Amino acid sequence: MSTEQTAESAAPTEGGAQGHIEAELSRDLGLVSALAIGVGTMIAAGIFTLSGLAVGYVGSAAIVSFLLAALVATFTALTYCEFTSIYPQSGEGYLYARKTFPPPLAYMVGWCLLLGYTSSCGFYIASLSTYFNEFIYHLPIQALAGLIFLGLLTLLNIKGTKESGTFQIVITVGKVILLIWFICGGMSSVTQELIVERFVSDVGLIGSTAALVFITFFGFSAIAASAGEVIEPTKNIPRAIFISMAIVTVLYALVVLVVLAAGLTEYGEQAMGKAAKQYLGPIGGMVIVGGAIFSMVSASNASIMAGSRVALSMAHLGHLPQEIGAVNTVTRTPVVSLLLVGVGIGSFAVLLPLEPLANFANCVLLTALIMVNIALIVHRRKFPDIERPFRVPLVPLLPILGVLSNAYLLFLIGSNPENTTSVILAAVTVCGGFLGYLTWKGTQAAEEIALPGERSKVALERAAITQSKFPILVPIANPANLNQLIDMACKLAKEREGHLVALRVVTVPDQLAPSMLDHAVERERRILDQARARALSHDVPCTTLVRVGHNTARAILETARERSAGLILLGWKGYSSTGQRIMGNVTDDVVTLARTDLMLVKLSGNLDKPFTRLLLPSAGGEHARQAMLYAADLVRGVEGAQLTLCSIVPPDQPQERVTAEEQRLEAAAAEIEGLEIATQVVRHTSIPVGIIKAAAEFDALVVGATRESFTNQVLFGSIPEAIARHSSVPVFVVKRHSAVKALFGQVMTE
């Protein structure tokens, strides 16, 4: 990996938001900077605040709790190292899940990590305020000191990665020196007898304390989160993770012993500061307190950087709005995501007390890490041949141990009645975030996500005199078929008390002379005037539109959405001319992305002949039922018209099968009130051939879509296409819109 800037911020290659991100993140962080991020995040409020609480709960056994938390973190750190060697970009656990899981699961990982970073940083900021008010100056607003530092850190990160990385190194080195000074000042008071005497052997309490202090080891994730800005990430990030964890684990164990040896009357959030005053005197104690505050500042700085990069990655991959992922062209930092993360941190710091805040952060982080460990197992099976510069040994054993150990800590937090508020709040925010995601996805226009280019614009509109609740959109691609499409649309509109929206789309290159565009619009106006006159001859109101854009399908879909169309009636040649397309370029996109009912019309034969006798092959299903309703509308009230339902049964099937099909067809026909519907069972070995032969006696075929595939985004099966390709009579293919399935498809295939 070179030190040149990467293009990770360019338009995503999988399922994300479309559009090009002009600016890119810069790789300015070396091994020392990455190490400083990890150590700086881990040596923070966790050691200065939670060490006292841990000693208060289990005495010298707090060392065991910290070691247990470190062991649990190590399993996941190994997973992170392998993933980072494969995907050396910003986003860490979310990015790994995005490459492995379906989009909703990946979003859940990203959302949990985003909550975890903001809440854990809120914990650091709140701890900073506590130390400041206790040892320096008591402010009238408890959280004011922390919020001031938070604002300054956010501005520092906006200024640039290199500046914040240098700041991180200086602060981290300084606080390690102060911790060593503190340890040296108190180690003489540590005795073996004291350790044995103050050792609490309650295994459950030791485990729950390990769960409480787990947040202190989450710094390894912050290193991976900044992979997009680390020089030679495949080599430097694993080194930084393991070196930082080793340093921090040793320092934590020694600090716990020294705090224990202070013999304080009360072990709470300020215990380490009080112990420092006891060992080092008032001046030395204040130096340690100052070091503690700056430790919390550096941890906050690393968490702000990491949290904003997770948000950046989520925006680039389509799980947050594009605007959140914008990289400023001057500072080359994600300004919007930094500001949003800063607001989230401040909210947590103000709203929750320290210990509940720590437990909340642990809940969401442990949930995310469980899923990341599972992702490694799935990734190994899903991509067995991918190059893995760093490989976790004993897979799936070690990731499974990571899952079980993280789940155990999560269980310990949840089983403690004192943590009920934190657990409920974590569950509510995680579920609320997922519901918000579904709502946001549901309100997004499918065409804006899937189709490139600018939005189309209305160049000419002539509105209908009256509007209705059931607009039928009729895109007119071939003027030769105009009369037939308008006649069909008018019949459907009359039956449903609707009106027509006739559309012509002018596709243009990015640069087009205004005079040429005016000429094109005028030509389209004359065609639409014919459509309007035809509709008015049937006494059906008709709005005519000319849209100008770069993509015909997008213009059709935008019109359908803006006009709340109940049905799109679209002309179709009946087959695709390319191997990649099922129905043709424009039709494929409209079929896949339309959020309304759709009827494809393939016209053939004598176009002046009215459609009075329709054949509808039906095997059941929602599309076939909807096709029957539209077919009934086309023949209802027309003299001599008839609708026939048919089914194909292989010749080798017994008569009982034929009888069952006849009964099914009759039951389906009975659902349509006020219309006599005939039924017919055809024996043939091939369904398409049997239908085509039976249709020779009819004016047209009406076919329901046969399958839906969210993976391949093919909404029409091979049977309707085969029928349309080879039939000598017109074919109408109907797809029923389901809002729930459309949302599911949009979420699952983005």
pLDDT at 713: 33
List, in order, residues 6 or more apart from 156 with CB less than 8 Å away: 163, 164, 167, 301
* Distance between CA atoms of residues 332 and 329, nearest Å: 5
456 pLDDT above the threshold of 70: yes
pLDDT at 639: 84
pLDDT at 238: 85
473 pLDDT above the threshold of 90: yes
pLDDT, one tens digit per residue, over 215-259 is 788 777 777 766 767 788 778 888 888 898 888 889 889 999 999
Question: 136: which DSSP letter?
Answer: I
Mean pLDDT, rounded, for 286-307? 81
61 pLDDT above the threshold of 80: yes
Question: 602: which DSSP letter?
Answer: E
Q: What is the largest CA-CA distance in the chain?
A: 107
Phi/psi at 94 (5° precision): -65, -45
What percent of the chain lies above the pLDDT cut of 90? 40
137 pLDDT above the threshold of 80: yes
- Residue listed under structure tokens 């200024």: 159
332's enclosing H/E stretch is none
Mean pLDDT, rounded, for 70-83? 90
pLDDT, one tens digit per residue, over 96-116 is 998 999 888 999 999 999 999
pLDDT at 577: 44
pLDDT at 570: 93
pLDDT at 7: 33
* Band (741; pLDDT cuts 50, 70, 90): low
pTM above 0.85, yes or no: no
Residue type, 412: L
pLDDT at 268: 76
* Band (321; pLDDT cuts 50, 70, 90): confident
Instruction: Give the number of other CB atoms < 10 A from CB of residue 246.
Output: 12
582 pLDDT above the threshold of 60: no
pLDDT at 265: 80
Q: Which residues pair with 733 in a beta bridge?
A: 600, 703
pLDDT at 748: 58
User: Per the omega criterion (within 30 degrees of 0), is the bond before 396 cis?
Assistant: yes
C-alpha closest to that of 453 among 508, 502, 518, 505:
508
Q: 92, 116 in Cβ contact below 8 A?
A: no
pLDDT at 27: 60
Residue type, 700: A
* Distance between CA atoms of residues 305 and 301, nearest Å: 6
pLDDT, one tens digit per residue, over 685-725 is 988 899 999 998 899 999 988 654 333 333 344 677 778 88
pLDDT at 17: 38
* Band (510; pLDDT cuts 50, 70, 90): low
Question: 697: which DSSP letter?
Answer: T
13 pLDDT above the threshold of 70: no
* Distance between CA atoms of residues 409 and 49, nearest Å: 20
Q: 304, 153 in Cβ contact below 8 A?
A: yes
Mean pLDDT, rounded, for 459-478? 92
170 pLDDT above the threshold of 50: yes
pLDDT higher at 128 or 445: 128
Mean pLDDT, rounded, for 375-379? 95
C-alpha closest to that of 376 among 353, 398, 357, 399:
399
* Distance between CA atoms of residues 33 and 26, nearest Å: 14
* Distance between CA atoms of residues 316 and 21, nearest Å: 9
pLDDT, one tens digit per residue, over 514-566 is 555 777 788 899 999 999 999 999 999 999 999 998 889 999 999 999 999 99
* Distance between CA atoms of residues 526 and 515, nearest Å: 17
461 pLDDT above the threshold of 70: yes
Domains of the chain: 31-443 (1.20.1740.10), 446-571 (3.40.50.620), 597-750 (3.40.50.620)
**DSSP line for 363-407:** HHHHHHHHHHHHHHHHHHHH-TTS--SS--SSTTHHHHHHHHHHH
Distance separating the N- and C-terminal Cα atoms of the chain: 30
Phi/psi at 708 (5° precision): -130, 135
* Band (644; pLDDT cuts 50, 70, 90): very high
**Over the chain, what is the mean pLDDT?**
84
Q: Compute the C-alpha angle 246/226/80, nearest 5°.
A: 55
Mean pLDDT, rounded, for 304-317? 86
* Distance between CA atoms of residues 405 and 401, nearest Å: 6
pLDDT at 300: 86
Distances (CA, A) of 565 to 512, 541, 598, 621, 704: 30, 14, 10, 23, 19
Residue type, 612: T
* Band (20; pLDDT cuts 50, 70, 90): very low
